[in-house]
Amino acid sequence: MIGHSDVAQLGTILGIWAHPDDESWVAAGLMHLAVKNGQRVASVTATYGEGGETADPERWPHEQLGVIRRRELARALEVIGVKECYVLEYPDGKLNKVNQAQAIKHLAGLIKSIKPNTIITFGPDGLTGHQDHKQIHTWSVKANQLAGLPATVYSCVQSAEKYQKLGKMSDDAWNIYFATDQPYCQSENEVDICIKLDKPLLTIKCRAYQAHASQTAGMLANAKDRQMIAELMACECFERAA
């Protein structure tokens, strides 16, 4: 199992996500460790997230949400230390409606250009059950095959230990796993990559997540809630994609 001290083994890392904020929730710790090691880290986001809901529609008007969330993504990646960012500009919430062959070819071209050793993305369940997240898993696996490079694809999974302790409570409070009854969980001892975030690393991750304020301000409104979310995010787990 690859842990905190073994991230260098992953080489060049490419994260492939559906929306701004996915990267911070799922893999900010892993990406920051890799950046500190001097590894190349790039992030691809399929949409601007313009179809999401905002914590405060007056502060973050829905008609401006795509522009707002791209700026938030830039700030979050700056906190993490990732300097390479690509947005594919597909419509939020409709990834299953676009031309699949063209989207996969587009993504394969980026993979060929970046030449990652490791690709990190969502699993088949999409973690929250979001259809866009599920689609990104399919695109990532098929694009990697089409690119013909030896990158290893890792899918994020929910830490069973964190879910048992905090997941249901957090879901009841903020509907985190909004499109599934329960995320796919695995024990931290059984996954292929397990990054347990120490306090400095968790602080970086929380700052990155907070940068997506239009989406996160509501659930981070008070100290108690911030502590719960931080503890839930304090372990990043991945397993090899089938």
- Provide the 3-class DSSP secondary structure of residue 49: coil
Tell me the pLDDT band of 3, cut-offs 50, 70 and 90.
Answer: confident
Mean pLDDT of 33-37: 98
* Higher-scoring residue by pLDDT: 145, 220: 145
* Residues 6+ away with beta carbon under 8 Å from 13: 30, 31, 34, 39, 40, 41, 42, 116, 117, 118, 119, 120
Contact 158, 167 (CB under 8 A): yes
- CATH numeric code, 4-240: 3.40.50.10320
How many whole angstroms separate alpha carbon 196 and alpha carbon 184? 19
Mean pLDDT of 108-137: 98
The confidence score (pLDDT) of residue 1 equals 87
Tell me the two tokens of residue 136: 């990104």
The confidence score (pLDDT) of residue 242 equals 83
The percentage of residues in the chain with a pLDDT greater than 70, rounded to a whole number, is 100
Decide if pLDDT at 118 tops 90. Answer: yes
pLDDT tens track for 148-187: 999 999 999 999 999 999 988 889 888 999 989 899 999 9
* Higher-scoring residue by pLDDT: 111, 178: 111
The confidence score (pLDDT) of residue 167 equals 85
pLDDT tens track for 10-20: 999 999 999 99
How many whole angstroms separate alpha carbon 31 and alpha carbon 171? 25
17, 35, 240 from 110: Cα distances, Å: 13, 20, 21
Mean pLDDT of 5-14: 97
Q: Chain-wide mean pLDDT for the chain?
A: 96
Tell me the pLDDT band of 4, cut-offs 50, 70 and 90.
Answer: confident
The confidence score (pLDDT) of residue 77 equals 98
Tell me the pLDDT band of 55, cut-offs 50, 70 and 90.
Answer: confident
Claim: this prediction has a pTM higher than 0.95: yes
Domain layout of the chain by residue ranges? 4-240
Decide if pLDDT at 38 tops 90. Answer: yes
Contact 106, 139 (CB under 8 A): no
117 closest CA partner among 29, 229, 39: 39
